Amino acid sequence: MIGINSSKNICNENGIYTNEIIHVSNNLNENIVTNQEWILEIPKINLIAEIAEGTSSEILNQYIGHFEKTSKQYGNIALAAHNRGYLVNYFKDLKELEIGDEIYYKYNGIQRIYIVDSKNIIKDTDVEVLENTEDDIITLITCVENQPEKRRCIQGIKKN
């Protein structure tokens, strides 16, 4: 049992579902449990969803996925989700967002508000939108209907 990670959804005393992450290290006596809330909320499109690490099919079929090589707290936080054709389509209404709309991001006790400041259609090979930035921004990416080589990219900048 080396380096096992697992998680399960639990409901806290406030009625909010969180991920309880259990990590078992090489030392079988070391069992670290953290109760971590990782949530994206976009009021305009009535979205409240949990975020999980990674963008694999398994993750995106249950959660909003976090691009592993991007930040979770500062700089560019990049997230992805399905928008149609799956059981979970968290970004189905992402195209309805407008410049100035608010995005709420909660991770490990921090909560930030971002303001949408760009909406673009990019190529699926345009990875520069995932690069880290000095400014605190959030990047939301999903597919574009009937254009498999394109991605919808919404970016927001941290509200002061």
- List CB contacts of 96: < 8 A, sequence separation 6 or more: 44, 45
Instruction: State whether the Cα torsion 7-8-11-13 is positive or negative.
Output: negative
Q: What percent of the chain has pLDDT over 90?
A: 74
Q: Which residue has the tokens 């398994």?
A: 58
Say whether pLDDT at 141 is over 60.
Answer: yes
**What was the pLDDT predicted at 36?**
65
pLDDT recorded at residue 160:
86
Strand order in the sheet with 17-24: 4-11, 17-24, 31-36
pLDDT of residue 135: 96
Partnered with residue 19 across adjacent β-strands are 9, 36
Distance CA 148, CA 128 (A): 19
Average pLDDT for 22-30: 34
Mean residue pLDDT of the chain comes to 83
For the cut 50, the answer to whether the pLDDT of residue 134 exceeds it is: yes
What are 73-83's pLDDT values in tens digits?
999 999 999 99
